Structure 1
Amino acid sequence: MSEEADAGRDDPEDATTAAGDATGADAAESTGRDGDDVIETALADEAAQYDDALAAEVAALEREAVESADRIEELESSLRRTKADFQNYKKRAKKRQEQEKARATESLVTRLTEVRDNLVRALDQDEDADIRPGVESTLETFDRVLAEENVEVIDPEPGQAVDPERHEVMMRADSEHPAGTIASVYKQGYEMADKVIEAAQVTVSDGE
């Protein structure tokens, strides 16, 4: 056989190697495509899961916002009702206070008319009649009315110390009482429920 014929004959080993190389290349190409497909699928699934989670979170936030708005509206409505009820209560309380004040005034006036009636009867007596007993009786009635209203007369005794809250000094005068003490009472005062409504007017001794 000639050398040309030997050269033209295929080498089994070379053919096997070439076939293996071709198969490996095809396998590598196939493996590369499959890997890319797997990665793309995983990314797509992850993106879908992310979108679903985000959508669920947005939906939850929207529900929470709606619930919060409903709660705010409920509280505002309750506040409006409470304010209206309080205003009505204030009006009722003021009206009741005015009614009680009117009744209290009416009661006082009714008792004072008794005092006036006594004075009228005293003046209806004869001019030469002694009206002192009638005046004294009227004064007792009047004092009783004042006592019922928790009113007390401020009538300090001469020689007592001056109380600036209950006594109004009108002038200084010669007196046998110690200097700076009350010499005499010019006009009685009045206090009601421990509150001075009119101070007693007094003169003060200068000690001479």
Structure 2
Amino acid sequence: MIKKVVKKHDKVKELTEDLQRVQAEFENYRKRVDKEKQEFCNYAKEDIIKTLLPVVDNFRLGFKHKANDEEFRKGVELIYAEFISILNNEGLKPIDALGQKFDPYKHEALLAEKSDKEENIVLEELQTGYTLKDKVIRPSRVKVSKK
């Protein structure tokens, strides 16, 4: 009789451990699926944002030219600010390049110029680079110093 009780107790213990293992595996699976779903969303955003970056560049180029109509310029600046705000809320950040040490992961050197500065310092940013959620989606195109 005691052997039967012990045997049933052992079986209950074994089944309980199996249940706990299955629950842990399911929880890990759920977390992995959530993470993969989030990564998929981030990559989808990345493609959309990459297609919008030329628009950002054109806004910047337009600001360099002096417009005659100040109200028009202010209106375009407001649109630009709103557009950038939306992109920033999605995780887009410009790469700070000017005066920084050249980093091949963040910068693309297009030109090199002799300078009295330390070698491989970014002297000029030719095109702004961007990160999305800490991932470089477009490197800054830069001019760097050389000896």
**TM superposition score category, shorter chain reference:** 0.5 to 0.7
Q: CA deviation at 1:75?
A: 0.8
Q: Contact 1:172–1:206 at 8 Å: present in 2 too?
A: no
Q: CA distance change for structure 1 residues 202 and 91 in 2, over 3 Å: closer, same or farther?
A: same
CA contact (8 A) 1:188 1:201 kept: yes
| Alpha-carbon distance in structure 1 between the residues aligned to 2:18 and 2:79 | 58
The residue type equivalent to 1:206 in the other structure is K
- Structure label with greater radius of gyration: 1
> Higher helix fraction: Structure 1 or Structure 2?
1
Aligned residue in 1 for 2:140? 200
* 1:187 and 2:127 aligned: yes
TM-score (norm: length of structure 1): 0.41
Q: Specify which of 113, 119, 132 is matched with residue 174 of structure 1.
A: 113
Match status 1:152 vs 2:90: no
| 1:164 counterpart residue number | 103
| Distance (Å, rounded) in 2 between the aligned partners of 1:172 and 1:88 | 53
Tell me the number of residue pairs that the alignment of Structure 1 and Structure 2 aligns: 121
Letter in 2 for 1:83: R
Shift of 1:87: 4.2
Question: What's the RMSD between the two structures over aligned residues?
Answer: 4.2
- Residues 140/175 of structure 1: CA separation in 2 closer, same or farther (3 Å cut): farther
Question: Partner of 1:186: helix, strand, or coil?
Answer: strand
- Select which of 74, 82, 93 maps to 2:12: 74
**1:74 deviation in Å?**
0.8
Aligned residues of 2:102 and 2:144 also touching (Cα < 8 A): no
Runs (5+) with no aligned partner, structure 2: 57-67
Q: Structure 1 residues 177 and 141 mapped into 2: Cα distance closer, same or farther (>3 Å)? A: farther
Distance 1:179 1:141, change over 3 A: same
The alpha-carbon deviation at position 90 of structure 1 amounts to 4.4
CA–CA separation in structure 1 for the residues paired with 2:22 and 2:135: 40
- Which gives a bigger RCO, structure 1 or 2 (Cα 8 Å, sep 6+)? 2
Classify the secondary structure of the residue corresponding to 1:162: coil
Partner of 2:65: none
Q: Offset of 1:196 from its aligned partner?
A: 4.4
Give unpaired runs (5+ residues) of structure 1.
1-61, 120-129
Alignment of 1:89-100 (within 5 A): 89-90=27-28, 92-93=30-31, 97=34
Percent identity of equivalent pairs? 13
Determine helix, strand or coil for the equivalent of 1:174.
strand
8 Å CA contact retained: 1:183, 1:203? yes
Match of 1:139 among 80, 99, 108: 80
1:29-49 Cα distance to aligned partner (Å, 9 max, x none):
xxxxxxxxxxxxxxxxxxxxx
Alignment of 1:103-122 (within 5 A): none
The verdict on how the C-alpha distance between 1:85 and 1:170 changes in structure 2, with shifts beyond 3 A counting, is: same
